[in-house]
Chains A and B, each alone.
Chain A
Amino acid sequence: MGKRDYSLLGRDARRALETGLAAAAWYHSDVPRKEMKALMAREDRPAIRDTAILFGCMAAFAGLGIALWPSWWSAPFWLAYGVLYGSAMDSRWHECGHGTAFRTAWMNNALYQVASFCMVRNPVTWRWSHARHHTDTVIVGRDPEIAVMRPPEFIRLIANFLGLVDAWNGWARMALNATGRLDPEEATFIPPAEQPGVVRVARIWVAVYAATLALAWAMGSILPLMVIGLPRLYGAWHHVMTGLLQHGGLADNVTDHRLNSRTVLMNPVSRFIYWNMNYHVEHHMFPMVPYHRLPDLHARIRHDLPAPSPSIRAGFAEMWPALRRQLRNEDHFVLRDLPPTAQPYRPEFHATLAGNAG
Chain B
Amino acid sequence: MTQWIDACATEDIDAEDLIRFDHAGHSYAIYHSPEGRFYATDGLCTHEQVHLCDGLVLGHLIECPKHNGQFDYRTGEAKRSPVCVNLKVWPVKVEGGRVFIDIG
A residues with a Cβ closer than 8 A to B are 23, 33-34, 36-37, 40, 42, 98-100, 127-128, 131, 134-135, 191, 193-194, 286-288
Closest to B57 in A: A37
Contact A288 to B63, CB < 8 A, known contacts A40-B56, A42-B58: yes
| Nearest chain B CB to A20 CB, angstrom units | 13
Give the 10 A-B CB pairs with smallest separation, nearest first: A131-B82, A131-B67, A99-B68, A40-B56, A98-B68, A135-B48, A288-B65, A23-B48, A191-B84, A288-B56
Cα separation A135 to B58 with both chains bound (whole Å): 23
- Does B37 sit within 8 A of A, measured CB to CB? no
Partner of A23, one of B17, B49, B54, B84: B49
Q: A99-B68, A127-B81, A128-B82 are in contact. List 10 more A-B contacts (CB 8 A).
A: A23-B49, A34-B14, A42-B58, A127-B82, A128-B81, A134-B67, A191-B84, A193-B84, A194-B81, A287-B67
Cα separation A66 to B47 with both chains bound (whole Å): 47
Cα separation A72 to B48 with both chains bound (whole Å): 52
Closest to B63 in A: A288
Please name all residues of chain B whose beta carbon is closer than 8 Å to the beta carbon of A33 when the two chains form the complex. Answer: 17
- How big is chain B's contact interface, by range? 10 to 19
Please name all residues of chain B whose beta carbon is closer than 8 Å to the beta carbon of A36 when the two chains form the complex. Answer: 54
Cα separation A288 to B53 with both chains bound (whole Å): 13
- Does B80 sit within 8 A of A, measured CB to CB? yes
Contact A287 to B68, CB < 8 A, known contacts A23-B49, A194-B81: yes
Q: Which residues of B, 35-54, contact A by the 8 Å Cβ criterion?
A: 47-49, 54
Residue pair B68, A100 in contact (C-beta under 8 Å): yes
Partner of B66, one of A34, A100, A194, A287: A287
Cα separation A42 to B16 with both chains bound (whole Å): 14
Cα separation A128 to B81 with both chains bound (whole Å): 8
Closest to B53 in A: A33
Cα separation A281 to B55 with both chains bound (whole Å): 18
> What total of A-B pairs shows CB separation below 8 Å?
40
Closest to A194 in B: B81
Listed by A's residue number, 24 A-B pairs whose Cβ atoms lie within 8 Å are A23-B48, A34-B14, A37-B17, A40-B56, A98-B68, A99-B80, A100-B68, A127-B81, A127-B82, A128-B81, A131-B47, A131-B67, A131-B82, A134-B66, A135-B48, A135-B67, A193-B84, A286-B65, A287-B65, A287-B66, A287-B67, A287-B68, A288-B55, A288-B56
| Nearest chain B CB to A36 CB, angstrom units | 8
| Nearest chain A CB to B101 CB, angstrom units | 20
| Nearest chain A CB to B99 CB, angstrom units | 17
| Nearest chain A CB to B45 CB, angstrom units | 11
Residue pair B68, A288 in contact (C-beta under 8 Å): yes
Cα separation A194 to B47 with both chains bound (whole Å): 15
Cα separation A128 to B66 with both chains bound (whole Å): 13
| Nearest chain B CB to A102 CB, angstrom units | 12
Please name all residues of chain B whose beta carbon is closer than 8 Å to the beta carbon of A42 when the two chains form the complex. Answer: 56, 58
Cα separation A100 to B80 with both chains bound (whole Å): 13
Closest to B17 in A: A37
Cα separation A40 to B16 with both chains bound (whole Å): 13
| Nearest chain A CB to B75 CB, angstrom units | 18
Please name all residues of chain B whose beta carbon is closer than 8 Å to the beta carbon of A34 when the two chains form the complex. Answer: 14
| Nearest chain B CB to A21 CB, angstrom units | 14
Closest to B69 in A: A131
Partner of A37, one of B48, B56, B66, B82: B56
| Nearest chain B CB to A23 CB, angstrom units | 6
Cα separation A193 to B81 with both chains bound (whole Å): 11
Please name all residues of chain B whose beta carbon is closer than 8 Å to the beta carbon of A194 when the two chains form the complex. Answer: 81
| Nearest chain B CB to A289 CB, angstrom units | 10
Most buried by A among B54, B63, B68: B68
| Nearest chain A CB to B31 CB, angstrom units | 13
| Nearest chain B CB to A158 CB, angstrom units | 32
| Nearest chain B CB to A207 CB, angstrom units | 25
Closest to B16 in A: A37
Please name all residues of chain A whose beta carbon is closer than 8 Å to the beta carbon of B68 when the two chains form the complex. Answer: 98-100, 287-288
Most buried by B among A23, A42, A131: A131
